[in-house]
Amino acid sequence: MKGFSNLLMIVSAFVVAPFLVYFIHRFIPSAYPWVPFAIVILFAGVLGIGFLRGAGFGLIAGVILFGALLQWWDRGVGFLPPYIRALQKPF
C-alpha cells in the first residue's frame, strides 16, 4: 500500500506543477519568466528532503516537463487551460 500512496503523491504533484507556476507568476508578475519555475523547484527540493519525497519528485518532474513543453513545443500544452498556456516561455 505504501507504493500506491507514493505513486499517487507523484502523479498529483506532477499534475499540480503547472498550476503552481501560474499561481506564483500571478503574485510576482514583474519577475523574470524563469523565476516562478525556480521557486517551485526549490519548494519541491525542500519537500523532497523531508518525508514527502514522492511529492518533491513529482513537482520537479512536472515543472521541468511543463517548462520544456512551453519552451520548445507549444502544442504540447494544448490540454491545459488558456490562462496557463499564456505564460511566458521560461528562457
- Cα gap 21→39, rounded to integer Å: 8
Whether the pLDDT of residue 24 is over 80: the answer is: yes
Number of domains the chain is built from: 1
Q: Is residue 90 part of a domain?
A: no
Q: Mapping DSSP to helix (H, G, I), strand (E, B) and coil, where does residue 31 land?
A: coil
User: What pLDDT score was predicted for residue 1?
Assistant: 67
Q: Is residue 41 part of a domain?
A: yes
Of the listed ranges 30-34, 63-67, 79-83, the one predicted with least confidence: 79-83
Structural domain boundaries enclosing 79 = 2-85
Q: Is residue 55 part of a domain?
A: yes
Q: Is residue 91 part of a domain?
A: no
Q: Is residue 20 part of a domain?
A: yes
User: What would the pLDDT profile of 39-76 be if each residue is shown by its tens digit?
Assistant: 999 999 998 887 788 889 999 999 999 999 888 886 77
Other beta carbons within 10 angstroms of residue 8's beta carbon come to 13
Q: Is residue 70 part of a domain?
A: yes
Question: How confident is the model over 72-83, as a mean pLDDT?
Answer: 81
Average pLDDT taken over every residue of the chain = 88
